[in-house]
Chains A and B, each alone.
Chain A
Amino acid sequence: MPKQIHLAAHFPGVNNTTVWSDPSSGSHIEFDSFREFAQIAERGKLDFIFLAEGLRLREQNDRIYDLDVVGRPDTFTVLAALAAVTDRIGLTGTINSTFNEPYEVARQFASLDHLSGGRAAWNVVTSWDAFTGENFRRGGFLAQGDRYDRARSFLQTATELFDSWRGDEVVADKDGGTFLADPHPGTFAHRDRFFDISGQFDVPRSPQGRPVVFQAGDSDEGRDFAAASADAIFSRHSTLEAGQAFYADVKGRLPRFGRGRDELLILPAATFVLGDTEEEAAELAQQIRLAQVSPATAIKFLEQLWNRDLSDHDPDGPLPSVDPVVGENTIARGRASVRMHRDPVATAQEWRAKAEAEHLTTRELIVEVTGRQSFVGTPQTVADTIDRYVQADASDGFILVPHITPGGMAPFVDRVVPLLQERGVFRADYEGTTLRDHLGLPLRGAGGASAVAS
């Protein structure tokens, strides 16, 4: 039997992948957009929907960045409301471990899991920038070396809270007058250098016991963190070769943490463009790329690498001849992607070489080097490619990021999903009720089989 593919829908984010200028683009805030997005994904029997999070509006050149979608609602609140208008689809929220405390996050996820009948998932992210911290009591700063340590401790602590109720405490026996079988349910105590808390957790065990846990880190430390503690990885490696390398690496780490290969799913983010012919799809993909990279956006991207004000630069001319400013990025703030430019001078040289060789303007170069679509083709070739990648262990499926809100998943759901179903590699209907059921993941912790790896 071929591997079964897992598919999810990422609500379009506050970056230039999302084309807000398209006539069919709707609100990113109104609940109707979320309802429509989730219902389309559920129509396609997708595993889950995914919400990202950012806790400070981005800035560039000391001004709020205004070229992309700006603003979003609260993750937990939207997911709880979506539980009312969907039945089966999983509800994954990105929640920061830096600007929250384990007790509040654990009770929010446990509550969401109860209120959705076992469909909650948590994409654990960490942040350490003082810029975002200015919105919070806690402030933001974490020493570089503490990032994963604190995130690990946060997840461990939250897991202890989820597991603090075994699941058999509430008996609610009206006749006998016994509500609780245990006079001290939810008892916990956790002490380390990040968290020193104790008492009783107040949300009884939820249907999934623990929410499904996603992790997105890509560094060596991040991969170990995921291999030890996560149920799924939200990765960036959507090409065949890079995907296979990442997949082999991370799955290879699992035995070290006493876990089997099927206990951690690898789900890269991916974009798609569909056409009736390959040519039509390629043409459409190019149009979308140009909409995603306006002349003004091209300059902003340039500034993010160059780390200097280039507002006078001509987007239709060649790349700047000056070199990037090396060191802390002071031009773009609240943007995780700038950290991926580890050696900006070298990257700039690569970009110049490419632009000269291919006779590209600045904007054309940015179109080429940022955010090319993952899957471009007819529904048939896209279905083929996705299946081939999954069967070749480049991933266990994909988290699809459409470029239009809220209807962007509809072409995929209506045209690609049926082809995958025909092949027998994607469910024809939901078989279980919880997200762990959809993902084929075991229950973990107090009521389940597998203990926490620490």
Chain B
Amino acid sequence: MPHPPIHLVAALDGAGWHPAAWREPGARPAELLTAGYWTDLVQEAERGLLDAVTLEDAFALQSDDPFVADDRTDRVRGRLDAVLVASRVAPTTRHIGFLPTAVVTHTEPFHLSKAIATLDYVSSGRAGVRVQVAARPDVAAHLGRRELPPVDRDAVATAPVVVELFDEAADYVEVLRRLWDSWEDDAEIRDAATGRFVDVDKLHYIDFEGRHFSVRGPSITPRPPQGQPLVAALGHAEVPWRLIGRSADLGFVTPTDAADATRLVDAVRTEQAAAGRAEETVHVFGDLLVVLDDDASAAADRLARLDEVAGAPLRSDARVFTGTPAQLADLLLEWQRAGLTGFRLRPAVLPDDLARITRDLVPELQRRGAFRTGYEAATLRGLLGLGRPANRYANA
């Protein structure tokens, strides 16, 4: 291969990432809460040999304002628990990985650990989780576990509460990882002679004690097939990059151009080294919101038309790409040379832009020798070139 392979993840959310996506002819806005809708999307992504899908989630209705609920009636509102959507779809697929979003600020690490371990069993080794912090006070009021102060819109990235919630998220991931290792792989012995089902010396208390919570362990669920399911996080600033560097296997960043991609990869690498993980593989993928069409002007026209329907220009934290699949392939290869190892593509419209990815972009990358022509591994870790890790407690 002339290029190292590019990894591709499809980011699935509602009817797509453009607020007017649900009004497109191919959209299925009345089916967003059905299993069939999500199964079709993930199977399409799998036909395109993608590494994984991410599924968005939050403990709140979608809002055009990232800081507070809105009262719009012309946008998709309402959704399903992402971990359960992944689990519902997993048995209908064979190769593709699942990275459902889970809010860590308001949930129990013990529950999420066994849920993702179970998703790993259900999918035979294709599970991961995208961890997300939720700093909104109104979301905290949904759960009632804690109160959070309002955050200054202009200084989100450095707000003390945000810094603290990301520190807590790192503790949370540590607990997930310890719990996944709390059973050694061969703990279940079924020894008829002694009547023992497990070897208790191979079950481990994790005894995590942090500033925010403590967890005793062991998990109630044995070590999952991958040993350690994948942990991913999205970051736009130093504090979340630190979480990626400390805790994740996969970080999503939002570069504006190739030089920015290099800067962001360096920023994650710096945090990774500071956390003593310089020798570990941490993938850094670039996020792009994509509007794809047969020629560049058609793509631009389509975005303009969507914006007009939405009543406002598309706003996005990730760069919006409009153009042809071949032009997108050019950009991905350029950004790959800048240091990214893969991309999370957010289709503007589902299923239209997802199908452009799987049916046009993927063949284009394959022609350039930059993308797999068949699934080469049975697990998500395997697809990302990650081995099955040793258990931290074995021989301890």
Chain A residues proximal to chain B, CB less than 8 Å: 20-21, 29-31, 35, 54-57, 63-64, 66-74, 76-78, 80-81, 83-85, 99-101, 103-104, 107-108, 110-112, 114-117, 134-138, 165, 169-170, 172, 174, 177-186, 195-204, 206, 294, 296-297
Contact = CB atoms under 8 A, between A and B. Distances in A.
Nearest to A18: B197
A434 to B, nearest CB: 14
B108 A136 contact: yes
B297 interface: no
A326 to B, nearest CB: 28
Contacts of A137: 108-109, 145, 212-213
A172 B22 contact: yes
Contacts of B60: 199-200, 202
Nearest to A101: B143
A114 B23 CA distance: 22
B183 interface: yes
A297 B195 CA distance: 9
Contact of A72 (B22, B143, B221): B221
Contacts of B58: 202
A183 B85 contact: no
B59 A77 contact: no
Given A135-B110, A136-B108, A174-B29, A114 B80 contact: yes
B81 interface: yes
Given A67-B197, A199-B69, A202-B60, A29 B221 contact: yes
Given A77-B87, A99-B108, A201-B142, 5 more contacts: A78-B87, A103-B144, A111-B81, A134-B214, A202-B60
A174 B84 CA distance: 27
Interface of B: 22-23, 27, 29-30, 33-35, 39, 58-61, 69, 71-81, 83-85, 87-92, 106-111, 114-115, 117-119, 121-122, 124, 138-139, 141-145, 183, 188, 190, 192, 194-200, 203, 212-218, 220-222, 309
Contacts of B106: 101, 104
A73 B198 contact: no
Contacts of B203: 57, 64, 70
A107 B33 CA distance: 12
Contact of A84 (B74, B83, B92): B92
A14 B117 CA distance: 18
B353 to A, nearest CB: 17
A289 B349 CA distance: 60
A134 B215 CA distance: 6
B97 to A, nearest CB: 15
Contact of B197 (A66, A165, A178): A66
A81 B88 contact: yes
A186 B79 CA distance: 12
B7 to A, nearest CB: 25
A174 B110 contact: no
Contacts, number: 229
A54 B219 CA distance: 11
A100 B108 contact: yes
29 contacts: A31-B122, A31-B124, A64-B200, A66-B198, A70-B203, A76-B87, A76-B115, A80-B85, A81-B87, A84-B39, A84-B90, A99-B111, A103-B143, A110-B80, A111-B84, A116-B88, A134-B214, A137-B108, A137-B109, A170-B30, A170-B78, A174-B29, A185-B78, A197-B144, A199-B142, A201-B142, A202-B78, A204-B33, A297-B195
B144 A196 contact: yes
Contacts of B215: 134-136
B73 A56 contact: no
Contact of A77 (B61, B84, B143, B198): B84
A56 B143 CA distance: 24
B72 A183 contact: yes
Contacts of B121: 29-31, 73
B201 to A, nearest CB: 10
A184 to B, nearest CB: 6
Interface centre among B89, B144, B214, B215, by most chain A C-beta atoms within 10 angstroms, is B144
Contacts of A69: 197
A78 B59 CA distance: 22
A134 B110 CA distance: 10
Given A104-B107, A200-B61, A182 B200 contact: no
Contacts of B117: 73-74
A198 B89 CA distance: 32
A81 B200 contact: no
A202 B103 CA distance: 14
Contacts of A204: 33, 78
Q: What is the predominant secondary structure among interface residues of chain A facing chain B? A: loop
B25 to A, nearest CB: 8
Contacts of B213: 136-137
Nearest to B103: A104
Given A137-B108, A170-B30, A199-B142, A179 B195 contact: no
A200 B58 CA distance: 12
Nearest to B83: A77
A111 B195 contact: no
A81 B216 contact: no
Contact of B69 (A54, A81, A200): A200
A195 B144 CA distance: 7
Nearest to B309: A177
A110 B81 CA distance: 9
A67 B189 CA distance: 11
B61 A186 contact: yes
Interface centre among A116, A138, A172, A179, by most chain B C-beta atoms within 10 angstroms, is A179
Nearest to B182: A57
Contacts of A183: 71-73
A115 B85 contact: yes
A85 B93 CA distance: 12
A410 B145 CA distance: 45
Contacts of B72: 180, 183
Contacts of A296: 194-195
Contacts of A56: 216, 220
Contacts of A180: 72-73, 77
B35 A179 contact: no
A91 to B, nearest CB: 11
A199 B215 CA distance: 30
Interface centre among A77, A177, A199, A204, by most chain B C-beta atoms within 10 angstroms, is A77
Contact of B88 (A29, A35, A84): A84
Contact of A107 (B75, B81, B192): B81
Contacts of A57: 203, 218, 220
Contacts of A74: 111, 114-115, 117-118, 221
Contacts of A134: 214-216
Contacts of A112: 84
Interface centre among B30, B73, B212, by most chain A C-beta atoms within 10 angstroms, is B73
Across the A-B interface, give the 7 residue pairs with the lowest CB-CB distance, nearest first: A172-B29, A77-B118, A183-B71, A134-B216, A80-B87, A111-B81, A73-B118
B268 to A, nearest CB: 29
Contact of B190 (A21, A77, A203): A21
Contacts of A111: 80-81, 84-85
Nearest to B179: A135
Nearest to A85: B91
B220 A202 contact: no
A170 B138 CA distance: 23
Given A31-B121, A135-B216, A184 B198 contact: no
Contacts of B138: 199
A71 B221 contact: yes
Nearest to A184: B71
B73 A178 contact: yes
Contacts of B192: 21
